Structure 1
Amino acid sequence: MSETFLPELPQEMWRAGKLELAHGVLQSLRVIRVATAGLGRFLAEVESRGAKDLFGHGSTASWLAEMAGLSRGEAGVVVKRAIALNPTRNLDGTEAPAVAPETAAVAAEGLVGDERIDQILEILKRLPADTSVEDRAVAEKILADLAPNAGPHQLAKAEAKLLGWLDPDGNEPKEPEPKEPRRELTLERRRDGFWKLTGLLDDETGVRTAAALEAYAQPRPVDEFGQADLRMKCERLGDAWAELLDLAIACPDQPGTSGYRTLVHVTIGLNELKSGLGTACLDFVGTMTAREARLAACDCLMLPVVLSAAGEPLDVGRLRRFVTPGQRRALNIRDGGCAFPGCHRKPKNCHAHHIEHWVDGGPTDLRNLVLLCGFHHRLIHHGDWEVRMAADGLPEFIPPQYRDPLRHPRRNTLHHR
């Protein structure tokens, strides 16, 4: 083993000049590399004699892990490198030559570190299987001579040249196996009643999701009253997600929904049901206001469970189809989209709203139905706007007094110019 010693450290490191610092780093690296090469020779000898016979361990790696305080995986990497660089002995006592003896010689001089050694060993693994022993030795010699003054990119280029020399025709091309897409999604209900959605999408699905959300997350245009869309982008994306869910659930081939927006189990008191005030239990896991229950009932399948003041179930309703596919098609043709004045939303983005709510005896026919997008549906249920059916059979909207003191009826003329 060549003798290399660390330079004497100055008592006050800050006094060292830049040349002295650089020299100290280089010398320290060389000492570490020389010592690592020496350690490899010891480990190769332990492997040859057998760690079980010498120390009672099942493998050299497990023994080194205990000796050095390493994990089994960390020790395995060191032992594997040592065996590749140094000759060992087979069970019958014959010598097993090193995989990379030229690299070992360079490593023993402290001229190359573990990273370049591992890269050379990987390159040797990738050489064609029919490469002769002589050609393999030449290739390893070229890499070993290059390694002390080369970085990873230079060695990678040398590998490409070696493969071109040893296998000019290359491997027979074959169709790559398609990768299984990786998609993950978790949905959990928080204590505050909100739901937390997290996920991981492959690149293709992520691009498609982003494109779909962006298409529905565009700010609403300024309406005829000059009101702009003040939602933040994250809010617009959340609303876009809700609209995409509505579109998916409304598909006739959607399993479990048959083209209807959702199935809602609502447990609500009789007084709350009539007045629209108070709360209701939604699907036995959460709560919603009575007004929200009325909104959801416009375009859903509902199973109402009506309770008396004492909490006694008075009636368990049956599933009722509120808007038939034929009625929905007629609504799409009549309204052409959201009927609220100034709204551009198309029919596929709209709900069917009962002008006179079904709880109040409103019938499910075209003269009592109007298409509204999600935003304006909530506005009608929770705001001061009103909607009614005019004498000509078309819906019209009555603005609140703070918008129009005379409350002149308004219509959407964008869909039927």
Structure 2
Amino acid sequence: MSETLVPELPQELWRAGKLELAHGVTSLLQVMRVASAGLGKYLAEVETRGAEDLFGYGSASRWFADVARISHGDAQDVVNRALALNPVAEVGGEATVFAPATAAAAEDGALADQHIDLILEVLRRIPSDVPAEERDGAEKILADLARHAGPKEIAEAGADLLAHLDPDGAEPKDEPEPDPPRREVFVERRKDGFWKLSGLLDPETGARTAAALDAHGARRPVDEFGQADHRTMPQRYGDAWAELLDLAIACPDQPGTSGYRTLVHVTVGLEALRTGLGTACLDFVGKITAREARLAACDCLMIPVVLNAAGEPLDVGRMRRFVTPGQRRALNIRDGGCAFPGCHRAPKHCHAHHIRHWADGGPTDLRNLVLLCSFHHRLVHHGDWLVRMAPDGIPEFVPPQYLDPLRHPRRNLLHRVVT
């Protein structure tokens, strides 16, 4: 085993230069790795003699877990590494080392545990009928590479060596089909009315989910008014999830919705629905504001339960189709996407908003409809922006007075060619 002296720490570390700091880190790292190799020799000897006879434990890993105060799983990893890098006597035979070249590099302090595990994994996958000299040659290549390379290079070199030594790969399993991927999703309603979403996805589905959330949760570009997107990543992912649900529900093949955006039961007072003040009961599981009920009613199928002042139902169970597929196509062509000034969102991400709300007697025709993305739809419902239809049949937006004291109307020019 190589002898490595522990570098002396300076009395005031903050005075050390960058070379001194780097030398201290690399020296201590080598000391740790050499010590780990030495520890492995002791553990291999304990396992060889028998931990039960020596200390009364059933295995060296159980004994080491107590001595080191670590979990049995971590202790087992250390012992397995030690047994692979040190002489172990076979029954009726002499002691041999499973990975001698790797053991030599480890004793020099050149390998971390991750390097060793990658090499051992490759060696265990080499078929038993491969000649010993070829196997030893492959190990020497990996051990020499690991002295100056990282895990990625070792993994790639190991894959190349396995492809050369075992071109046919592992024999196929007898199972006719692989096990189905494991996917679990839990949706739990909290006492405050919010919903908690958690789950477990297989690698492929998780990667696709992350890619979709990244794409739909990208920051909105700075608009023409200089407003930047200050949402945190969890907030952007939450909004992206809502958009993905809108896209899925709007699919013509969506079960139970026939291609319409939403199907909900809303119980609300008539006056609250007209004014937007008050609350409504959503699907008998929670409350939303009357203003949110007005927003949802713009582009969905609702089964309204509208109550008069005495609590008597005025309208129960009559579904109202607010925007027909033909009207939706015409809106997509006319507006080209979200009509709010400076917004780039495509039609598939937009809702059909009633300029004059249907609860106030607004008709469902093209001159009373405008495409808005979820963000600007909520802004129009909750903010001080005014949307109206210009004489030429194109929607235009009147900004709040704090943005433009004269309140000049504005249009979105991103979706149309200006002539």
Query: Could you tell me the TM-score, scaled by structure 1's length?
Result: 0.62
Cα separation, 2, equivalents of 1:25 and 1:43: 27
Cα separation, 2, equivalents of 1:389 and 1:279: 33
Query: What residue is the counterpart of 2:97 in the other structure?
Result: 99
Query: What residue is the counterpart of 2:166 in the other structure?
Result: 171
- For the Cα contact (< 8 Å) 2:217–2:239, is it kept in 1? no
- For the Cα contact (< 8 Å) 1:370–1:395, is it kept in 2? no
What is the identity, as a one-letter code, of the residue corresponding to 2:370? L
- For the Cα contact (< 8 Å) 1:266–1:303, is it kept in 2? yes
Note closer, same or farther for the CA distance 1:39–1:302 as it changes in structure 2 (3 Å cut).
same
What is the identity, as a one-letter code, of the residue corresponding to 1:39? Y
Query: What residue is the counterpart of 1:225 in the other structure?
Result: none
Task: Encode CA deviations 1:372-398: one digit per residue, 9 max, x unaligned.
Answer: 3135544554436253686x8x36668
Name the Cα RMSD after superposition.
Answer: 6.0
* 3-state SS of 1:95 partner: coil
CA drift of 1:301 comes to 0.7
Cα separation, 1, equivalents of 2:320 and 2:376: 24
Query: What residue is the counterpart of 1:39 in the other structure?
Result: 42
* 3-state SS of 2:353 partner: strand
* 3-state SS of 2:320 partner: coil
1:325 aligns with 2:325: yes
Stretch deviating more after TM superposition (348-357 or 260-269)? 348-357
What is the identity, as a one-letter code, of the residue corresponding to 1:373? L
Stretch deviating more after TM superposition (264-273 or 379-388)? 379-388
Query: What residue is the counterpart of 2:220 in the other structure?
Result: 217
* 3-state SS of 1:359 partner: helix
Task: Encode CA deviations 1:160-209: one digit per residue, 9 max, x unaligned.
Answer: 99999x9995431669x99x999887766666666677898755654454
Note closer, same or farther for the CA distance 1:96–1:40 as it changes in structure 2 (3 Å cut).
farther
Query: What residue is the counterpart of 1:371 in the other structure?
Result: 370
- For the Cα contact (< 8 Å) 2:331–2:366, is it kept in 1? no
* 3-state SS of 2:268 partner: strand
* 3-state SS of 1:296 partner: helix
- For the Cα contact (< 8 Å) 1:295–1:381, is it kept in 2? yes
The residue correspondences of 1:119-130 to structure 2 (distance < 5 A) are 125=124, 129-130=128-129
Note closer, same or farther for the CA distance 1:389–1:316 as it changes in structure 2 (3 Å cut).
farther
Runs of at least 5 residues in structure 1 that lack an aligned partner in the other structure: 223-227
Query: What residue is the counterpart of 2:280 in the other structure?
Result: 280
- For the Cα contact (< 8 Å) 1:379–1:385, is it kept in 2? no
Note closer, same or farther for the CA distance 1:192–1:232 as it changes in structure 2 (3 Å cut).
farther
- Percent identity between the aligned chains? 49
Cα separation, 2, equivalents of 1:401 and 1:33: 69
The residue correspondences of 1:2-401 to structure 2 (distance < 5 A) are 36=39, 39-40=42-43, 42-47=45-50, 58-62=58-62, 65=65, 71-77=71-77, 79-80=79-80, 83-84=83-84, 85-88=86-89, 90=91, 94-100=92-98, 118=116, 125=124, 129-132=128-131, 151=147, 153=149, 170-172=165-167, 202-203=206-207, 206-207=210-211, 209-214=213-218, 217-220=220-223, 222=224, 228-234=225-231, 237=236, 242-243=242-243, 245-311=245-311, 313-333=313-333, 347-364=347-364, 366=365, 369-374=368-373, 377-378=377-378, 380-382=380-382, 383=384, 385=386, 387=388, 394=393, 399=398
Task: Encode CA deviations 1:30-89: one digit per residue, 9 max, x unaligned.
Answer: 996897476356425424xxx667776544544555566564334434554565533436
Note closer, same or farther for the CA distance 1:78–1:330 as it changes in structure 2 (3 Å cut).
closer
What is the identity, as a one-letter code, of the residue corresponding to 1:217? R
* 3-state SS of 1:39 partner: helix
Task: Encode CA deviations 1:317-365: one digit per residue, 9 max, x unaligned.
Answer: 322212221232344455555566787765444433334433234443x
Task: Encode CA deviations 1:246-283: one digit per residue, 9 max, x unaligned.
Answer: 34432212333322221232221233233332222233
Note closer, same or farther for the CA distance 1:26–1:367 as it changes in structure 2 (3 Å cut).
closer
What is the identity, as a one-letter code, of the residue corresponding to 1:232? D
CA drift of 1:155 comes to 12
Cα separation, 2, equivalents of 1:264 and 1:170: 62
- For the Cα contact (< 8 Å) 2:221–2:229, is it kept in 1? no
CA drift of 1:302 comes to 0.9
Note closer, same or farther for the CA distance 1:258–1:113 as it changes in structure 2 (3 Å cut).
same
What is the identity, as a one-letter code, of the residue corresponding to 1:292? E
Query: Could you tell me the TM-score, scaled by structure 2's length?
Result: 0.62
Stretch deviating more after TM superposition (270-279 or 377-386)? 377-386
What is the identity, as a one-letter code, of the residue corresponding to 1:264? V
Cα separation, 1, equivalents of 2:379 and 2:30: 76
- For the Cα contact (< 8 Å) 1:40–1:86, is it kept in 2? no
* 3-state SS of 1:327 partner: helix
